[in-house]
Amino acid sequence: MDKFTEMEVLISVAEQGSITRAAETLGQSVSAVSRYLSSLEERLGVRLINRTTRRFSITEEGELFYSYAKSILSEVHDAEALVGQVSSAPTGTLKITASTSFAMLHLMPIVPEFAQRHPKISIEITAHNRYHDIIESGVDLAIRTRRVEADSSITIRRLAQTRRRLVASPDYIAEMGTPHHPEELERHRMLVYLLADDPMRLDMRRGNSRFLVNVNPVMTTNEGQLLLRAARDGMGIIAQPSYIVQEDLDAGRLVRVLDDWDLPRLTINLAFPTRRHMPAKTRLFIEYLSAYFRRNEFERIWTS
């Protein structure tokens, strides 16, 4: 019998906990699955599955074989995928997740051209301001400012660093005046992003000086684009990453506040499932996005 099929059967039986469910998953008959399993046990000379009418369990030998078989089949599938990528244009759906602001400001400028260059790749963008499980959601690439990933099966690649800046509209500054020290922020109208670390306190540093500002907001939200709109309309001062506010600063719609003081900086990371061979669609988009960032010198601009 086919050794690869035997391994697939053993893996499915172990994971499904039932020969009947394994047969359904594999699209085989129960008798065929039983034959493959019996053939494998006979060839190896050991019992892999304990099965009675009332009880089903995998043996110690079965656990060992399951572990190796799963690794071997994963390698085979990766090899097939890699050869397929070399021999043909990349295809499939590329699933990306990012914050709403990042998706609007830094994905959409490049997605149309990327799609034109790679017409067999379709792109699915899910905008989230909270982090979702990459593996469970079937995500190929996540762009986020999370420092670490708890799941060891996720690889992180640095894209860029960015300052968080205090900014406000010229009209607001004309009305309320320019603060010259962090302690003056306590009398200013503050607009707060609720998903930031410790959102009701600003940890401001300049050289060896450090000042903690307790914020009493006039508005809070979980969406950076709403804060941006409120700041443009003169509602108050916001603390947001440069990658969100830079365009408005360049256009003069917003101005910097206390820019000689620094808030904790953020690192924008690319997170994706760890694989020996990265899918071509993911690799191509990462290379395209990274080149776009280098070409525009975003990190230099955002950290200056």
Residues of the chain with pLDDT under 70: 1, 52-55, 77-88, 147-151, 276
Encode pLDDT of 28-86 as tens digits. 888 888 888 888 888 888 888 887 656 678 888 888 888 888 878 777 766 666 555 54
Coil, strand or helix at 248: helix
pLDDT at res. 276: 66
pLDDT at res. 133: 78
Encode pLDDT of 162-184 as tens digits. 999 999 999 999 999 999 999 99
Question: In the chain, what are the helix, strand and coil shares in percent, each to the nearest 5?
Answer: 45, 25, 30
**What are the structural domains, with CATH classification, of the chain?**
3-87 (1.10.10.10), 92-162+267-303 (3.40.190.10), 164-264 (3.40.190.10)
* DSSP assignment of 56-102: EEE-HHHHHHHHHHHHHHHHHHHHHHHHHHHHS---EEEEEEE-HHH
pLDDT at res. 10: 85
Phi, psi values for residue 135, rounded to 5°: -70, -50
pLDDT at res. 79: 65
pLDDT at res. 87: 47
